[in-house]
Amino acid sequence: GENVEQHPSTLSVQEGDSAVIKCTYSDSASNYFPWYKQELGKRPQLIIDIRSNVGEKKDQRIAVTLNKTAKHFSLHITETQPEDSAVYFCAASGAAGNKLTFGGGTRVLVKP
């Protein structure tokens, strides 16, 4: 089955700097790659997603890149702000009946 690995597990950045989180997946049939943000005690919420027919997608300060050949995708947050502090999860889906598999999460701390 699908296995998604996410790195780093924790990330501390200075406000205004960039943050990058990387994920790899194992099943080449996966075709949908969402990123979720989870604030403390709350439900995960989608921040951006990408499909396998696209290499890059941007939404304001957030971007995601996908390398299908290498089976990895990354989240880039530019000009980080304190409200970006949260846990971020990557996921992969599309293979084997849309089983949605998550990475282990990255705890991001933006220091003022």
Partner 1 sequence: DGGITQSPKYLFRKEGQNVTLSCEQNLNHDAMYWYRQDPGQGLRLIYYSQIVNDFQKGDIAEGYSVSREKKESFPLTVTSAQKNPTAFYLCASMRQGAKVSEAFFGQGTRLTVV
Q: Write out the binding residues for partner 1, residues 78-97 only, by CB under 8 A.
A: 89, 91, 93-94, 97
CB of 60 to partner 1, least distance (A): 17
Out of 44, 50, 73, 84, the only residue in the binding site for partner 1 (CB under 8 A) is: 44
Report d(CA 10, CA 107) in Å as an integer: 5
Q: Which stretch binds partner 1 (CB under 8 A): 19-27, 43-51, 54-62, 63-71?
A: 43-51
What Å distances lie between residue 64 and 19, 36, 55, 90, CA to CA? Answer: 12, 12, 8, 10
75: tokens are 């989240």
Residues contacting partner 1: total by CB under 8 A: 25
Out of 14, 42, 70, 112, the only residue in the binding site for partner 1 (CB under 8 A) is: 42
Report d(CA 30, CA 51) in Å as an integer: 9
3-state secondary structure of 105: coil
Q: Would you count residue 74 as binding partner 1 (CB under 8 A)?
A: no
CB of 16 to partner 1, least distance (A): 27
Count other C-beta atoms under 10 Å from residue 11's C-beta. 17
